[in-house]
A = this chain, B = another copy of it.
Amino acid sequence: MNLALLLDEDFVSPDRARLQGRRLQHLKTVLKASAGDRIPVGRVNGLMGYGEVLKLNDSEAELQLTLETPPPAALPLTLILAMPRPKMFRRVLQTCASLGVKDIWLINSYKVEKSFWQTPWLSDDNLRENLTLGLEQSKDTVMPQVHIRKLFKPFVEDELPALLEGKRALVAHPGMAAPCPTHLNESAALCIGPEGGFTDYEVGKLEEAGCQSVHLGPRILRVETAVPVLVSRLFDACL
């Protein structure tokens, strides 16, 4: 936690907040903060700065806030991910948030196991918690939006074309002829398949919707590795 993200409900006045739970524990055990210390904070979807510790006890910490710095620029990326395996999903969410991805669509695919959609990590609270961890890691305040689409075909046929308008649209898929482009200067949409990849039918449907198929070299990467590799490749100037 390189920044404590303050939620609206943490504010007791416009420049004062109280922390409990995980963030309080972090202040006490990792930062070993005490009254008078300044710790880096940010208001969710707002400015960043520091909070001076006014008091800190076993139940809460109270901070006097000075918030003047805008968060780092968001990546101009719509990330469309086949729903990952649950044990990987949390890390993928945190990674996306830490990289500045703000628009995440979780979609179905033939090789997404039905059980993946049952994971408790998809609850609103758990999504928010893991995205918060990513923002706190990278010192950002802007909460990513996560959209869940459990049916592939209606999403790709009815929603995706509008979503891709005005964007460079790509689907990363091993074995395609074109290499993934580098350092884009435009908004992009990027589709990444599940373990085992999209099926040929699915790649065809994504192409019909406007995506270009690109490869990422001879190596087959895990989703959790492919996301930072692709984001870095597409937007090296933005990171």
Task: Name A's B-contacting residues (CB within 8 A).
Answer: 2, 72, 91, 95, 98-100, 137-140, 182-183, 216-222, 224-225, 228-233, 236, 238-239
Is A221 a contact of B137 with CB atoms below 8 Å?
yes
Contacts of A219 in B (CB 8 A): 72, 98-100, 138-140, 239
A100 → chain B closest CB, angstroms = 6
Contacts of A221 in B (CB 8 A): 98-99, 137-138
Of chain B, the residue at the smallest CB distance from A88 is: B91
Is A217 a contact of B229 with CB atoms below 8 Å?
no
Copies of chain A in the complex: 2
Assuming A100-B219, A138-B221, what are 19 further A-B pairs, CB within 8 angstroms?
A: A72-B218, A91-B224, A98-B221, A98-B222, A99-B219, A99-B221, A99-B225, A138-B220, A139-B219, A182-B182, A182-B183, A182-B236, A217-B238, A217-B239, A228-B229, A229-B232, A230-B232, A232-B232, A232-B233
Is B222 a contact of A232 with CB atoms below 8 Å?
no
A50 → chain B closest CB, angstroms = 16
A89 → chain B closest CB, angstroms = 14
Is B228 a contact of A225 with CB atoms below 8 Å?
yes
A21 → chain B closest CB, angstroms = 21
